[in-house]
Structures are given as C-alpha cells and as structure tokens.
Amino acid sequence: MGRMRTSKPLFECDPDSEELIIPAGITDLKTFRAWTLSDSFPQRGRIDYINGQIEVDMSPANLQYHSLPKSEIAIAVGHFVRSHDLGQFYIDQTRVISTPGDLSCEPDILFVSWKRINTGEIVFRESADPKDEADFMEIDGGPDLVVEVVSPGSVKKDTVRLKERYFEAGVLEYWLVDARNGKSEVQIMVPGPRGFKPVPTDKSGFQRSKVLGASVKLTCGPGRAPRTLSYQCILK
C-alpha cells in the first residue's frame, strides 16, 4: 500500500471527545487506514481492525497483571535487541498493518529485524502528510516478534482472532503472556502448516526464541511492598 493523501478531511468527528464515534464509510482495511491517518482518529484507547471487524478497548490496564509484566518483558527484550543490534523494538501505539492478514492493530510489544527491513519484507509507511523522510506511522508486514499480554477483556481477541491474523500476516513469532491473578505464563508460538504451534518448554521452564536466538522465561513473586508483585523476564 502506498501513502494516502487528501485535500479535505475524510472523516468528521472530534478526536478528543469522551464518546468514541466510528465514522460511516469504513468498510475495509483501506478505509480504516485512512481513518487512522486522519486528524479525527482518537488519541487514546486501542482501536484495531481485525479481519473486517473494528475492535475497541478504552479500558485502563491493570497495573500488576498487565502493565508491570509488559514493562518487564519490554525492558528485558528491548535491552537484548539493542545490545545485540538485532533491529528495532517498539512498545504501545505502534501500528502494524497487513493486507494478507486483513489487519491494522497496535500490539503491546513488537520487534522487527534489520534483515527483514533491508530485504523489504517490512516496510515503513508514511503519515498522510509527511513532514520529513522518516515521518512514518505504520509498519507494513508481519513483524519478527509480536507480544500480547492478556487482560480480562482481551482473552478471545488475543488467543483466537489476533492469533489467526498474525499468522496470516507472516509474524515469525507470537508470544502470548498471561499474568492474570499473579501467574507468569508465556507461550511462544511459531508458524506451522495451518497456524501457530507452541514451542516446547524445557525442564527449567525456558522456551527457545528462534527470532532472538535466546531462551526465555518469565517469573513472578511478591514485591517489596504489600499487595505488589515482582516480575523477571530472563533471556539466556
């Protein structure tokens, strides 16, 4: 897909309104993309287009069961990617689009390798009115790695709908993280013949990430203050 330009607003709605209004005329991935690149697109909440459906999550994230494990994984994986100069790493508000996946979404965490950027498997798409040569708003293609942290309202979305679309988009590795109620479950999945298949866990609780070239484990225990948790994402 190329850039989208328009001389007048495609959609008329207030992006700062307390009420989310989905404009008329959004019928497919192309028109949804035009909305996300317009000034009328809301500046908060997660709004995804998944296989013909617009899915909205405006609820705040649980601090101990969602924000904290996501931050720990982001710190560990981001540091690993940077220290090994593997590519570019993103967290939140990074839009991924895919025509084969019929998808436009903002994963919790994602990583794209220099190799796949340089081969053109991953393409950065410009904003509707780019200010410079690096004014990008979308990652076009399946990232090397996508991480989603399950919340009570996103179980079926993360485990079924996004899982199917990420596979069709060509994502090389999908990490599904479930830390609800103090759990520390990470399931690494890789493409199989008809969908993602789980990577086995060894006796020490580690799973091998082929994308990162490292074994991964997430642990959870009590924090140093009452009613808090402490997570550790180990890569070796």
Query: Which tokens in the block code for residue 193?
Result: 């013949």
Note the pLDDT tens digit of each residue in 120-175. Answer: 999 999 988 888 888 999 999 999 999 999 998 899 999 999 999 999 999 999 99
Report the predicted TM-score, pTM, of the whole model to 2 decimal places: 0.89
When computed from its CA atoms, the radius of gyration of the chain, rounded to whole angstroms, is 18
DSSP conformation class of 180:
G
Residue of 147, 2, 164 lying closest to 76 (CA atoms): 147
**Pairwise CA distance, residues 65 & 74, whole Å:** 15
Largest CA distance in the chain: 60
Query: Which tokens in the block code for residue 151?
Result: 């919340």
Selected from 3.40.640.10, 3.40.1180.10, 3.90.1150.10, 3.90.1570.10, the CATH number assigned to the domain covering 63-235 reads 3.90.1570.10
Q: Is 225 exposed, middle or buried (0-12, 13-18, 19+ CB in 10 A)?
A: exposed
Q: For the chain, which residues make up each domain, given as ranges? A: 63-235
Q: List the pLDDT tens digit at each of the 236 positions of the chain.
A: 443 433 344 444 455 555 677 888 899 999 999 999 998 898 888 999 999 999 998 888 899 999 999 999 999 999 999 999 999 999 999 999 999 999 999 999 999 999 999 999 999 999 888 888 889 999 999 999 999 999 988 999 999 999 999 999 999 999 999 999 878 999 999 999 999 999 999 999 999 999 999 999 999 999 999 999 999 999 99
Query: Which tokens in the block code for residue 170?
Result: 């060509």
